[in-house]
Amino acid sequence: MIDNHPEWQKMHNLILRECDVLLKGPDLERKMQGVSMLKVSREMWKHAFYLSYAYRMTGDKRYARKVERDMLTVCRFSNWNPEHCLDGAEMTRGVAFGYDWFYDELSESSRCPGSRPNPPAACRNGLHLQHRHTENTNFALTSQRARPTVDSRSIRSGNR
């Protein structure tokens, strides 16, 4: 289908080139920029999204291994900066996306950090003391941050 559309082929090739750069790049690091680590969180999302596409289109397992490594790396961060709401939300989105799209490619030991981290950084953000209020805002923010990174296949198979 892509072969019949030059503009799609161009985009496809651009994404694959970017993914090849990501494969050679360093692991993600927990770096703060001022009070935020949003850049790192968005990099996790970009890696998961682009590498998922590349893997699905080519079947090259190097792309799957890179996403798995990135997910394990960020899940080992001390936290996802609970002081800044978007940091945790964006990181959760990236990890959840990678976990869902690569679930079948993840090693058994890597599946656990997506379904039951120690506790997951997404949940640690929701438990942060400054967010323990009684008004509706706390519920909305906490539930958004604590959304588990579990897909339906994991629930059906009993991996909780």
Question: Which helix (H) or strand (E) element contains residue 54?
Answer: helix 38-58
For position 144, what pLDDT does the model report?
Answer: 46
Report CA 21 to chain centroid distance, whole Å.
18
Helix and strand counts by DSSP (H, E) for the chain: 8, 0
**Cα dihedral value 47, 84, 160, 46, nearest 10:** -10
101 or 1, greater pLDDT: 101
* 3-37 residue pLDDT tens: 889 999 999 999 999 999 999 999 999 999 999 99
Is the pLDDT at 89 greater than 80? The verdict is yes
Average pLDDT of the chain is 79
130-160 tens-digit pLDDT? 555 555 544 445 444 444 443 334 444 444 4
Q: What is the pLDDT of residue 58?
A: 96
What local confidence, expressed as pLDDT, does residue 150 receive?
39
Confidence class for position 49, pLDDT limits 50, 70, 90: very high
